[in-house]
Amino acid sequence: KKSGATVVTLPGITKPMFIRGVGVDYKKVMRLTKKISDKLQKAKKVRIVAPGTDVTVDVRNCKNADDDGDFHRKSIHNLPSGEAGLAPKGADGHFTAKDVNLKKTRVNFILENNKVTAVSSQRLKKHLWGIKNARNVAELGIGTNPGAKASGNMLEDEKVLGTCHIAVGDSKSMGGPVQADIHWDFIINKPTIWL
């Protein structure tokens, strides 16, 4: 990337994921991603509400780090693509999300001042409190790929239209200030999102 290359990653891709998520009209994915991204750029705060979830995120002057499938833009992309995202300045509230690494177990989080202050999983707590900066709220992402479906692989799950995700850990890759050895995404299904 530093030398100007476009980087595309496909960690854990399967043939069905490829067919579903890559076989979409990427012009439509780009348009929808841009529409949501533009709204995020104009917003000051984002509120996310779903069962077990009520989070307010400070997005003032945050640079968007979208993954829209436009590989002409020199950046790091995923296939399948399809998310509008950014590294927030702050996050407070609580959310319940799916952790695909725990085989669809629901995990409850409490956020204060852009940090995880409590989590319902002892396994996650061990990681988040044991790794430097792992409790940092690193990303708010909104899925924009109509072909993606929840498969248990985060590469595809975070792109599903009708979901959003909150990640903890490293935000440097998203244009944020925090470096950490992990970047861990957690899916929130069917959220209502206010900007």
pLDDT digits (tens, 9 = 90+) for 37-75: 999 999 999 999 999 999 999 999 998 999 998 888 777
What is the percent of the chain where pLDDT is above 90?
73
Region 138-153: mean pLDDT is 94
Adjacent-strand bridge partners of 8: 77
Which of 114-123 are b and which e, b meaning 16 or more Cβ less than 10 Å from the residue's Cβ? bbbeebebee
**What stretch of H or E contains 21?**
helix 15-22
